[in-house]
Structure 1
Amino acid sequence: MAPLRASRPGAPMPAAEEAATSGDSPPAPPSPGRPDGETGLGGLENMLGFNLRLAQEASFAAFARRTGQSDLRPGRFAILRIIAANSGLSQTALSAAAGRDKSTLTPALTDLEKRGLIQRRRAPQDRRSYALFVTAEGEAVLRELSGHAAAHDAALDALVGPEQREMFLAILRRIATGIG
């Protein structure tokens, strides 16, 4: 096996690599990842979808830190907020508005209902569907978390910059509607 080379010509060789090539000790087994210690992403670092996912994860983690002891995840907060803005909304309309399919929406609604934050009632015009309502407890949670959500959004705005905000939102919306 050829010894590892320094990352740039003329750069000093890391001590572990130098010892491995000096003959004083047996060569070390190859380490996973790149010589600089970072894990290679195999080209993912240049893929939009991967970076969208990283941004979403970072945003959700920051929201969770900001809200502290609340265990209401950002997706459930969004669902609660949409229901509050559209009292009596059907699950089908909520699914379209939130961009969630039935397989992820139904467990989220069940969770919110168990927590006492929403109610599902049979829709009077169609007994096969449910109308969704936020409870008084749900309204209290929304009031508590809405300030955190506004501060979180302001932090994201600061990262994007006011001059790029509208363009960034337009691009995100185009992605959501174009491939959704």
Structure 2
Amino acid sequence: MELKPEESLGFQVRRCHRAFERALNEQLAPHGITAGFWGFLRALWQENGATQKRLSQLNNVTEPTAVTTLNAMAKAGLIDRRRNAEDRRKLNVHLSPKADGLKGELMPIASRINAIAADGISAEELHTTLRVLRRMAENLSREAREDAA
């Protein structure tokens, strides 16, 4: 069976992801932020003090990938890590004042990129798209868990 790129969910989602990533990198670069940092910043703006494991889950990356990204963020002065008071094996990640202050500058950039991507698409279509994308991610995550079991 042939699966043409224009009919492939995976191809189209990846194509869209790459376009978002290019736009983010272009707009975030003047602030010293990469698209790779972006997801972690977003997660920490919501859950400052989350563990490294939690951040890897929120960003849907492996723990080694999260550690590599967080190391780079620490070197850039965006985060610091602290031992968890209840479980000393865990590291909690906290935003630096510098990173916390970037939220007001960077969130409008993300909103603008989302608005560009949504141009000409109705609110109903966007709602459906978000619902479908969440469902696809859930389906794929469930499949991965079942395969691992």
Aligned residue in 2 for 1:45? 6
What is the deviation of 1:62? 1.6
Q: CA deviation at 1:159?
A: 4.7
From 82, 88, 92, give the equivalent of 1:131. Answer: 92
Give the one of 37, 44, 69 matched to 1:108: 69
Q: Which has the larger radius of gyration?
A: 1
The number of residues matched between the two structures is: 139
- Mapping 1:29-178, distance limit 5 Å: 43-67=4-28, 69-178=30-139
So what's the TM-score if we normalise by structure 1? 0.70
Kindly indicate whether structure 1 or structure 2 has the higher relative contact order, using CA contacts under 8 Å at least 6 residues apart: 2
Higher helix fraction: Structure 1 or Structure 2?
A: 2
- In 2, the alpha carbon distance for the partners of 1:49 and 1:115 equals 33
Deviation at 1:156, TM superposition (A): 2.0
Contact 1:64 1:71 survives alignment (8 Å): no
Q: Deviations over 1:91-145 (max 9, x none)?
A: 1222222212113211111111110101111111111110111011111222221
Instruction: Name segments (4+ residues, structure 1) moved above 6 Å.
Output: none
CA contact (8 A) 1:116 1:137 kept: yes
Could you say what the CA RMSD is over the residues aligned between the two structures, in angstroms?
1.8
Q: If the length of structure 2 is used for normalisation, what is the TM-score?
A: 0.83
CA gap 1:159/1:126 in 2 versus in 1, 3 angstroms: farther
Distance in structure 2 (CA, Å) of the matches to 1:172 and 1:71: 30
Q: Which runs of 5+ in 1 are unaligned?
A: 1-41
Structure 2 residue matching 1:171: 3-state secondary structure: helix
Residues 89, 131 of structure 1: 8 Å contact kept = yes
Rounded Cα–Cα distance in structure 1 between residues aligned with 2:45 and 2:110: 15
In 1, distance between residues paired with 2:121 and 2:64? Answer: 32
Q: How many angstroms does 1:44 deviate by? A: 2.6
